């Protein structure tokens, strides 16, 4: 159909809107990676000896590892010696209040649509903003502290709550876990830290915005969220990066610990620069995200809307250790042009009566490749475990690919595991039906695609859902429609 | 309002419409009947602009404009509404959201301001009564999981919301039980205002007991071979199509 | 103790192999392929569980067992196999330890246009020349490489154009070896020419009580335009057997193939089915059933490759896993760029019957075309308590009720078998297994 072709053409011509570079002075480490760089980063952050030791152990282990090759993605080999591992915006003055924030940084966040002031006044969302791996400002700290909630940059937490950091760092994602997790453990520069005390329901959404700004840098942030017994927190993460011809590496680690009857909801809208329509530039997004449900009735829920990055390699997972614990994964992954995504989840059932739900919606356009890879593992101990997975793929062109690789490993007969997958395209009859009601083809595709993703968008907090829908429209701009 | 002259159309290289002539004036209700494969649904599809149908000759003038030159959405915006024989399911898109998008598109093309949610809701509630639709149905995904009757009622509801000047009902009665048929017909009759025109395509005379047409036409082998008033429909019901077929085939062979 | 690697070298230089190569100068046509395959095996070796395709099935023991190629090939007579016939009128083709046994076979009444025999006797057949060793890929499949490098005999079944044969052809694989550890390569070629239609049944059984047997079977099935092949593979090897089976089907336009794999044996079983819909309008059905007990592993790997438009494939795999057994299902569906209007469906249902049973399922869709309808579903669970209760409330004892439900679960797979006589016999075998 000529309309389809036109749409695809339009999509290919839609542009990344967050591709500006902010003129912020930054403080960089020399390129390359060796023990001295690890020590340099640790020294820069004035870290205690135990953390330096942790980093060095991770670094030494990393040196023995090789890059994983099993994901269904291809990309030029990353030269790990050609990356700047530490880049921090130079603070002009000590930050006492928001007014002291570098105006350029503030302007950057305004452009991103994250007005820290506005957020503070209206949205009741506490924001931690991370530029090039360093936390530049956390809002709302005082309000949260009244409830005993700790929400700060990772570096601050290391100094202010070393006992918590020490106890939980690497407890869910050990540095031995995988190549990028080891790399992150060696060189992580900052990130967010969050602790919700027993029985406290966090009164506002906590949010981190990540931004890669400097050229030649990698971003290696680390997030640690601990929800103590009976607590609740909803956490949001958003990311953008400037347009650059080079590929930049983002290798983050997120660890979540959910104690008995605690609930953590983690939502991501990932919009790293995906490269241009010929696949030049863009972020390599190699991220390890994992949570553990430690106690009875713990719950962790991942929701992600992935529209960015040149190459994505990401499997937010839940270890369901506590009896009756619950894991959820809701995902919309959009790939366009030359993007590649290999994403999904792992649900590891250990406790009794544990249940997990996986809803994955892949949308592929252009010459992109979109793979779902998920593991559901029911251990022998997990009596009455339940899993339901649904993986749908929507194809928007004849040059893209959609792939599903579910692994279902069941070792307990009382388990019930159900998996469904479908692949289809936007139906011409659906588009014509909309046309006949006066809706243009472009709007019709937008409507249909949003309808297709609804189950996932419903899981997002309100403001985020609106943002996600807009993002989806822009990612498929013109195209679909 | 609508003038069709010598319309020829084919699908997958097969000629279906063979020089069809037909005129509809404002406020008129025309019923089109005919045996299977005579081209009834093709006519509806061609008027709505379905791409698989290739127009190979003739013209269609709608309110002074060349309808065949227009995209499907522009035809809809100009006031042509097709009630589908097989309404399409759109998972995840609520009826309300779908209609709001459609109504505001049509308004935009007329230079009217978009309705806000409150105004839209008010109009929707009024129109829902026409087809005895309950509120839950507007929150369900478009046609998804609807019964046959619900789908057809939903078509008429959409027609009420979009207020077209010409409505084409493509076998809207097929598969309906008598209650559903009554509801659908009442909805249609409520929208007959002396200005709005209808083309009612049907297999069965019984629909015409409820929606009384001004004219009845018989379509056969891609053209209108007989026209009359509602009595013609009764005659067809009684005698079937064979006598018409014989008449036509005899003339063709002569 | 020598490793299989060494065994293979030994086999390659053994008299069995050389005799065969020397037996007929015409075999030179395949000499290069055989040599190439030997190299391919050396390069690949026996896969370990680090190999993604062998993640759940450990066959490394094969590499450390001192296998010998069996020497007894012609001990069986017609009377010995009479009871095993799949139907009374079936054409019987006996392969004893992988070698064609003419004496025990009954090929007297073959219809015109059906040719069956040992590769040694069929080298002049045009279809054999064209297709033998040409379809199973030894470059990427280590056991195909090993088979290609080491088989000493093969059976070819050729159906000429327009020949339709309703009587099933029964390929009876029987092991009688008495070597302590025996290696048995089995090689089959089936060609159905234009418009031909045949029924083929493979059965694997054993009279042998030796320490361990390694059956390495490769079947190549070729369908020309509009050909139709109904194929049943029934694997009933005893617990001393490791059975690795590779089945490749190459399909031309408008062809139809229906393949049922019944893995009812007691040893380690691994099936690799590879169906290529190479031209338009092909139809492929793949059904499979596992009944696994004790500590055995039964592994089904299927790959359906849609290369061209307007093809249809449907897969139904059911696994009944008891005791400490492990079931594995890996079902790949590829839809290539040109394969628009593909319809591909897959369903995998598994029942775990004991506390120690394990099921590992990996359905896998890889789609490169946009106008397709594909779906897969996989479920793993136990017998529905409600159904069980219902039967018991009607006075059926718990064991009987379970057997009934297990049978009902499994029977769906049998329903697809086209030949009534074959279906009946297979249901009978299943009944015995489920007792």
Q: Which of A1, A436, A440 to mutate to test the interface with B (most CBs of B within 10 A)?
A: A436
The answer to whether the Cβ–Cβ distance between C381 and A417 falls below 8 Å is yes
Main-chain phi, psi angles of C254, to 5 degrees: 60, 10
Does residue A397 belong to any structural domain of this protein?
no
Q: Which residues contact B218 (CB under 8 A, 6 or more apart)?
A: B32, B33, B34, B224, B225, B226, B227, B232, B236, B241, B244
CA distance to partner chain C, nearest, from residue A474 (Å): 22
Residue A435: which of B76, B98, B162 has the nearest Cβ? B76
How much is the average pLDDT of A444-456? 87
Residue window 51-90, chain A: list those with CB within 8 Å of chain C: 70
CA distance to partner chain A, nearest, from residue C284 (Å): 19
pLDDT band at B26 (very low <50, low <70, confident <90, very high): very high
What does the domain layout of chain B look like in residue ranges? 2-92+164-253
The answer to whether the Cβ–Cβ distance between A414 and C361 falls below 8 Å is no
pLDDT band at C27 (very low <50, low <70, confident <90, very high): low
Does residue A218 belong to any structural domain of this protein?
yes
A426 Cβ under 8 Å from any chain B Cβ:
no
Q: How far apart are CA A205 and CA A210, in angstroms?
A: 16
B210 Cβ under 8 Å from any chain A Cβ:
no
Percent of chain A with pLDDT over 70: 79
User: Nearest residue of A to residue C339 by CA position?
Assistant: A398
CA distance to partner chain A, nearest, from residue C382 (Å): 6
Q: Which of C380, C383, C384 to mutate to test the interface with A (most CBs of A within 10 A)?
A: C380
Collect all residues of chain C within an 8 Å Cβ-Cβ radius of residue A416.
379-381
The answer to whether the beta carbons of residues C70 and C184 sit under 8 Å apart is: yes
Q: What is the pLDDT of residue B55?
A: 93
Q: How far apart are CA A99 and CA A122, in angstroms?
A: 17
List the structure tokens of A347.
């649900």
List the structure tokens of C188.
């089959």
- What number of C-beta contacts closer than 8 Å exist between A and B? 77
Does residue A421 belong to any structural domain of this protein?
no
From the list A356, A374, A359, the residue with the least C-alpha distance to A417 is: A356
CA distance to partner chain A, nearest, from residue B48 (Å): 7
Does residue A438 belong to any structural domain of this protein?
yes
The answer to whether the Cβ–Cβ distance between A398 and C337 falls below 8 Å is yes
The answer to whether the Cβ–Cβ distance between A418 and C379 falls below 8 Å is yes
Does residue A379 belong to any structural domain of this protein?
no
User: Which domain range does residue A322 map to?
Assistant: 2-359+427-476
Q: What is the pLDDT of residues A11-36, one digit of tens each?
A: 334 555 555 556 556 677 777 888 88
Write down the pTM of the prediction: 0.78
List the structure tokens of C207.
């009279």
Q: How far apart are CA A128 and CA A226, in angstroms?
A: 16
Torsion of CA A240, A242, A245, A250, to 10 degrees: -40
The answer to whether the Cβ–Cβ distance between A433 and B88 falls below 8 Å is yes
How much is the average pLDDT of C53-58? 93
Q: How far apart are CA C158 and CA C107, in angstroms?
A: 13
* Residue ranges in C14-150 assigned as alpha helix (H): 15-23, 28-44, 78-81, 126-131, 142-150
pLDDT band at A128 (very low <50, low <70, confident <90, very high): low
Q: What is the pLDDT of residues C370-397, one digit of tens each?
A: 778 888 888 898 887 777 777 777 777 7
User: Nearest residue of A to residue B78 by CA position?
Assistant: A438
Q: What is the pLDDT of residue A96?
A: 45
User: C330 forms bridges with which residues in the sheet?
Assistant: C301, C362
Q: How far apart are CA C159 and CA C169, in angstroms?
A: 11
**Mean pLDDT over each residue of chain B, to the nearest integer:** 89
Q: What is the pLDDT of residues A273-304, one digit of tens each?
A: 778 777 788 888 889 999 999 999 999 999 99
The answer to whether the Cβ–Cβ distance between C382 and A413 falls below 8 Å is yes
CA distance to partner chain A, nearest, from residue B78 (Å): 9
The answer to whether the Cβ–Cβ distance between B73 and A439 falls below 8 Å is yes
User: Nearest residue of C to residue A379 by CA position?
Assistant: C358
A430 Cβ under 8 Å from any chain B Cβ:
yes
Q: What is the pLDDT of residue C95?
A: 95
The answer to whether the Cβ–Cβ distance between C363 and A419 falls below 8 Å is yes
C343 Cβ under 8 Å from any chain A Cβ:
no
Q: How far apart are CA C7 and CA B177, in angstroms?
A: 76
pLDDT band at A139 (very low <50, low <70, confident <90, very high): low
List the structure tokens of C141.
């499949």
Residue window 223-282, chain A: list those with CB within 8 Å of chain B: none
Q: What is the pLDDT of residues C72-95, one digit of tens each?
A: 778 899 888 888 899 999 999 999
What does the domain layout of chain C look like in residue ranges? 74-385
- Output the CA angle B198-B199-B202, nearest 5 degrees: 130
Q: How far apart are CA C365 and CA C326, in angstroms?
A: 23
Residue A440: which of B51, B73, B88 has the nearest Cβ? B73
3-class state of residue A474 by DSSP: helix
pLDDT band at A4 (very low <50, low <70, confident <90, very high): very low
Q: How far apart are CA B10 and CA B45, in angstroms?
A: 11
Q: What is the pLDDT of residue B94?
A: 85
The answer to whether the Cβ–Cβ distance between B73 and A433 falls below 8 Å is no
pLDDT band at C14 (very low <50, low <70, confident <90, very high): very low
Percent of chain C with pLDDT over 70: 93
The answer to whether the Cβ–Cβ distance between B73 and A441 falls below 8 Å is yes
Quick check: do B and C touch, 3+ CB pairs under 8 A? no
Q: What is the pLDDT of residue C74?
A: 83
- How many domains does one find in chain A? 1
The answer to whether the Cβ–Cβ distance between A436 and B101 falls below 8 Å is no
3-class state of residue C262 by DSSP: strand
Q: How far apart are CA A380 and CA C82, in angstroms?
A: 45
First-to-last C-alpha distance (Å) of chain A: 13
- Output the CA angle A444-A450-A452, nearest 5 degrees: 105
A422 Cβ under 8 Å from any chain C Cβ:
yes
Any chains having at least 3 CB pairs less than 8 A from chain B are A
Q: Which fold has domain B2-92+164-253?
A: Rossmann fold (3.40.50)
Q: How far apart are CA A329 and CA C381, in angstroms?
A: 22
Q: Which residues contact B96 (CB under 8 A, 6 or more apart)?
A: B120, B124, B138, B139
User: Nearest residue of A to residue C363 by CA position?
Assistant: A406
Collect all residues of chain A within an 8 Å Cβ-Cβ radius of residue B75.
436
Q: How far apart are CA C117 and CA C132, in angstroms?
A: 13
Counting every residue written for chain B, the total comes to 254
Collect all residues of chain A within an 8 Å Cβ-Cβ radius of residue B98.
434, 437, 447
Q: What is the pLDDT of residue A8?
A: 35
Ramachandran assignment for C341, one of left (phi > 0), alpha (psi -120 to 50 degrees), beta (any other): left
- ipTM comes to 0.83
Q: What is the pLDDT of residue A243?
A: 63
Q: How far apart are CA B220 and CA A276, in angstroms?
A: 56
The answer to whether the beta carbons of residues A50 and A256 sit under 8 Å apart is: no
Check pLDDT > 60 for residue B90.
yes
Ramachandran assignment for B163, one of left (phi > 0), alpha (psi -120 to 50 degrees), beta (any other): left
Collect all residues of chain A within an 8 Å Cβ-Cβ radius of residue B101.
439, 443, 447
Q: Which of C53, C341, C367, C377 to mutate to test the interface with A (most CBs of A within 10 A)?
A: C367
How much is the average pLDDT of B149-177? 89
CA distance to partner chain C, nearest, from residue A477 (Å): 19
CA distance to partner chain A, nearest, from residue C371 (Å): 6
Q: How far apart are CA C152 and CA A28, in angstroms?
A: 69
CA distance to partner chain B, nearest, from residue A311 (Å): 29
User: Nearest residue of C to residue A373 by CA position?
Assistant: C364
- What number of C-beta contacts closer than 8 Å exist between A and C? 116
Radius of gyration of chain B (CA): 18
Check pLDDT > 80 for residue A257.
yes
Residue A411: which of C358, C363, C372 has the nearest Cβ? C358
Check pLDDT > 60 for residue A479.
no
Residue B158: which of A430, A435, A437 has the nearest Cβ? A437
CA distance to partner chain A, nearest, from residue C323 (Å): 11
The answer to whether the Cβ–Cβ distance between C372 and A414 falls below 8 Å is no
pLDDT band at A5 (very low <50, low <70, confident <90, very high): very low
pLDDT band at B199 (very low <50, low <70, confident <90, very high): very high
3-class state of residue A2 by DSSP: helix
Counting every residue written for chain C, the total comes to 435
A447 Cβ under 8 Å from any chain B Cβ:
yes
């Amino acid at each position: 159909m000529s309309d389809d072709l036109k749409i695809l053409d339009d999509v290919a011509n839609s542009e990344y809107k967050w591709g500006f570079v902010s003129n912020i002075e930054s403080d960089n480490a020399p390129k390359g990676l060796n023990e001295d760089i690890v020590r340099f980063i640790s020294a820069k952050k004035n870290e205690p000896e135990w953390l330096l030791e942790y980093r060095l152990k991770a670094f030494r282990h990393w040196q023995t590892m090789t890059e994983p090759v099993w994901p269904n993605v291809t990309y030029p080999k990353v030269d790990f010696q050609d990356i700047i591992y530490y880049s921090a915006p130079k603070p002009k003055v000590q930050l006492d209040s928001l007014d002291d924030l570098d105006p350029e940084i503030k302007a950057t966040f305004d452009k991103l649509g994250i007005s820290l002031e506005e957020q503070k006044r209206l949205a009741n969302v506490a924001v931690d903003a991370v530029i090039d791996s360093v936390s530049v400002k956390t809002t709302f700290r005082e309000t949260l502290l009244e409830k005993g909630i700790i929400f700060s940059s990772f570096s601050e937490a290391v100094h202010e709550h070393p006992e918590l950091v020490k106890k939980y760092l690497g407890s869910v994602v050990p540095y031995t876990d995988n190549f990028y997790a080891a790399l992150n453990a060696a060189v992580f520069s900052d990130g967010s830290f969050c602790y919700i005390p027993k029985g406290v329901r966090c009164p506002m959404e906590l949010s981190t915005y990540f931004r890669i700004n400097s050229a030649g840098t990698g971003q290696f942030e680390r997030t640690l969220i601990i929800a103590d017994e009976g607590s609740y927190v909803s956490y949001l993460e958003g990311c953008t990066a400037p347009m650059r011809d080079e590929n930049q590496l983002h290798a983050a680690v997120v660890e979540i610990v959910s104690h008995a009857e605690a609930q953590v909801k983690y939502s991501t809208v990932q919009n790293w620069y995906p490269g241009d329509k010929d696949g030049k530039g863009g972020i390599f997004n190699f991220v390890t995200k994992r949570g553990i449900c430690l106690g009875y009735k713990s719950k962790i829920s991942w929701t992600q809307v992935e529209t960015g990055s040149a190459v994505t390699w990401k499997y937010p997972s839940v270890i369901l250790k506590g009896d009756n614990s619950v894991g959820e994964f809701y995902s919309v992954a959009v790939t366009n042009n030359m993007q590649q995504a290999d994403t999904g989840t792992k649900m590891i059932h250990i406790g009794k009566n544990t249940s997990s739900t996986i809803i994955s919606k892949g949308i592929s356009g252009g010459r992109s490749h979109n793979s779902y890879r998920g593991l559901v593992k029911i251990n022998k101990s997990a009596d009455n475990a339940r899993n339901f997975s649904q993986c749908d793929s929507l194809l928007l062109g004849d040059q893209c690919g959609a792939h599903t690789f579910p692994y279902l490993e069941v070792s307990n007969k009382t388990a019930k595991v159900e998996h469904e997958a479908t692949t289809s395209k936007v139906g011409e009859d659906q588009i014509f039906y909309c046309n006949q009601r006066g809706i243009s083809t472009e709007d019709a595709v937008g409507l249909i695609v949003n309808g297709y993703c609804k189950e996932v968008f419903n899981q997002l907090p309100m403001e985020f859902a609106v943002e996600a829908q807009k993002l989806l429209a822009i990612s498929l701009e013109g195209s679909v429609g | 309002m609508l003038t069709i002259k010598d319309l020829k159309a084919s699908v997958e290289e097969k000629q279906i419409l063979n020089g069809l002539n037909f005129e509809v004036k404002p406020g008129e209700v025309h019923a089109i009947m005919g045996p299977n494969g005579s081209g009834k649904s093709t006519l509806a599809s061609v008027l709505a602009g379905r791409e698989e149908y290739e127009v190979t000759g003739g013209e269609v003038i709608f309110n002074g404009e060349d309808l065949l030159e227009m995209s499907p959405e522009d035809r809809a915006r100009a006031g042509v509404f097709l009630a589908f024989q097989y309404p399409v399911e759109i998972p995840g898109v609520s009826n309300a959201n779908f209609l709001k998008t459609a109504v505001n598109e049509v308004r935009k093309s007329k230079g009217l301001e978009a309705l806000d949610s409150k105004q839209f809701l008010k109009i929707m509630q009024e129109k829902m009564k026409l087809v005895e639709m309950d509120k839950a149905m507007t929150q369900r995904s478009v046609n998804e999981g609807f019964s046959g009757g619900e789908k057809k009622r939903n078509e008429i509801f959409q027609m009420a919301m979009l207020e077209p000047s010409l409505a084409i009902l493509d076998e809207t009665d097929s598969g309906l039980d008598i209650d559903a048929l009554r509801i659908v017909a009442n909805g249609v009759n409520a929208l007959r205002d002396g200005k709005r025109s209808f083309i009612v395509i049907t297999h069965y005379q019984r629909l015409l007991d409820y929606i009384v047409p001004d004219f009845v036409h018989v379509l056969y082998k891609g053209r209108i071979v007989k026209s009359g008033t509602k009595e013609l429909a009764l005659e067809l019901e009684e005698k079937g199509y064979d006598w018409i077929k014989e008449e036509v085939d005899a003339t063709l062979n002569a | 103790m020598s490793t299989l690697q060494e065994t293979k070298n030994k086999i390659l230089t053994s008299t069995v192999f050389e005799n065969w190569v020397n037996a007929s100068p015409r075999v030179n046509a395949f000499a290069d392929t055989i040599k190439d395959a030997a190299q391919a095996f050396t390069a690949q070796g026996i896969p370990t569980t680090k190999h993604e395709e062998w993640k759940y099935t450990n066959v490394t023991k094969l590499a450390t067992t001192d296998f010998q190629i069996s020497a007894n090939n012609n001990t069986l007579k017609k009377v010995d196999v009479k009871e095993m016939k799949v139907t009374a009128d079936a054409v019987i083709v006996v392969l004893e330890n992988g070698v064609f046994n003419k004496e025990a076979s009954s090929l007297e009444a073959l219809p015109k246009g059906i040719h069956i025999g040992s590769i040694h006797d069929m080298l002049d057949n045009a279809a054999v020349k064209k297709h033998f060793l040409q379809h199973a890929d030894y470059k990427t499949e280590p056991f195909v490489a090993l088979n290609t490098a080491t088989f000493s005999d093969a059976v070819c079944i050729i159906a000429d154009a327009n020949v339709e044969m309703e009587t099933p052809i029964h390929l009876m694989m029987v092991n009688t070896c008495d070597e302590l550890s025996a290696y048995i390569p089995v090689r089959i070629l089936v060609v159905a020419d234009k418009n031909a239609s045949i029924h083929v049944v493979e059965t694997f059984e054993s009279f042998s009580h030796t320490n361990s047997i390694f059956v390495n079977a490769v079947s190549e099935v070729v369908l020309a335009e509009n050909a139709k092949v109904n194929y049943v593979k029934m694997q009933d090897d005893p617990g001393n057997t490791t059975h690795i089976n590779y089945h490749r089907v190459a399909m031309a336009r408008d062809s139809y193939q229906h393949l049922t794999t019944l893995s009812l044996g007691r040893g380690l079983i691994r099936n690799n089915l590879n169906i290529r819909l190479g031209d338009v309008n092909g139809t492929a059905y793949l059904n499979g059933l596992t009944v696994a007990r004790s500590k055995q592993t039964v592994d089904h790997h299927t790959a359906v490759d849609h290369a061209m438009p307007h093809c249809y494939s449907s897969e139904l795999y059911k696994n009944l896993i008891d005791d400490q057994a492990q079931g594995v299902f890996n079902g790949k569906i590829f839809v290539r760029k040109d394969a628009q209007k593909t319809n591909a469906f897959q369903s995998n249902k598994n029942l775990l019957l004991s506390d120690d049973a394990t099921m590992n399922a990996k359905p896998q869709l890889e789609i490169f075309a946009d106008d397709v309808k594909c779906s897969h579903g996989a479920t793993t669970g136990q017998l529905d308590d409600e159904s069980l209760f219902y039967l018991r409330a009607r006075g059926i004892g718990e064991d009987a009720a379970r057997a009934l439900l297990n049978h009902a679960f499994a029977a769906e797979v049998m329903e697809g078998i086209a030949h009534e006589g074959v279906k009946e016999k297979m249901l009978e075998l299943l009944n015995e297994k489920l007792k």
